[in-house]
Structure 1
């Protein structure tokens, strides 16, 4: 995938073809970069598996091979000048797209196996355990939004020619694919885009563990962060806030609303998430009380010269 990132970058510079409103090498470039960070995160997480390491090795291999097959199809279609996703124009194109659907399902299942192994792993630091487990579970949710994109859009259903249609499915909601889009990401600026919750959810795999690493880096300067219980509470707050953001951008996309043009309902929900996260974060930073050892009643009732009473004082 690192090699394909470089190859796709060269393609962007030397190949001026445009497909579905974007530079033809933009899709393999985005997929290659995404797979690089996804694979690195999963590889690191597999080193933390304590039970079922052999199963984890096979699950990681399945993820790697399915990613390779998907990238090979995307790149092959770019070379042919054809769409890779949602392409039903010819039996060959449809077969390739169906094969991609199988590889994505296999990749999702392999990640699910790794998630189960991480849930069973004995990770000493509880904050690290929750950052990793929350990250991989949210990544599974994010990956699941990819299946929604393969369904016929209302416009495609209304056309009534699904058996002969050249394109079935879409990234965008409420507008056709290939319209005005954001730079770098390519997300629609005129309608909803299911790639947004897909992207945000999948990269929880890296961002939540990264959040914990930031807390650890700040711990020498902020004494409260040295308390593992405080770090655990902050990770739980961050995980909840991240899940809420995934739900918010999914709700926004499914209503056909562009990310950069939120309505009042979206802004209100976002403000609620920020306020709740801030309040919970502030509460999580409170110092953990040190439990006091109870003094036996007999010592409490004893005189001032009682050793136990003097120790308690």
Structure 2
């Protein structure tokens, strides 16, 4: 689970050297940063690219545009990475040599009270990465059924008393406003288990994942990678949640999300390997990085290479 950082920078890139090593950058290659954010990973990739290299940077958060370097090799796409193939085709950038996605929320987003990501500030219960979309966290807590709320808090937040939490939201929302973070926390103070900050961090994580369909977008993006990468090209994905990590691990291993038990129940057809796994185990932050950047402690990097 990703927690908030005390850093004042827009976003400190995690596992930076490990990502660069994993991508094995070709100076004349085309690379995609699916989560541009503060641009930390992208700037280092650009340093390793020559004049003929290209970088396509995706970010659905409009604030990320302010971090773009003045560099003709960079193309910025202000959209969710689930639309990867469509925009790479539009910019005539297929095939690509490598792709990076850092699935963490930036420190900047946590520090902007009006975005509603942080438990530290008051503001609207929003949590939209892309302000153009309609669904907010307030809509989720105000309209979802008890069963839906129970499921998302249990699965996405690993909240210990998710069933009680869901039932309490249903009971309280009819009589108390939950439009702001302060309203929400006040209405639910009676069901908090353990450390309130940790408890609400898990609750907020679950709401954020739901509002932005983060797991759906991740699956959409991963499924496009095999057809986008050149043979020998690499994908590097940084996750901050066990569900995300499991999705990436299984996709790199199988090359798809198809259930082979259904399509080939007797296991007669050997699965065609799409990727060579570069990281047998997920790469985690060093002690030095953990001291420098506490938010890196839950980061896991997996790298895979498309078979030639």
TM-score scaled to structure 1, two decimals? 0.28
Looking at both structures, which has the greater relative contact order when contacts are Cα pairs under 8 Å and sequence separation is at least 6? 2
Normalising by structure 2, we get a TM-score of 0.28
Structure with greater helix share of residues: 1
Larger Rg: 1
User: Larger strand proportion, structure 1 or 2?
Assistant: 2
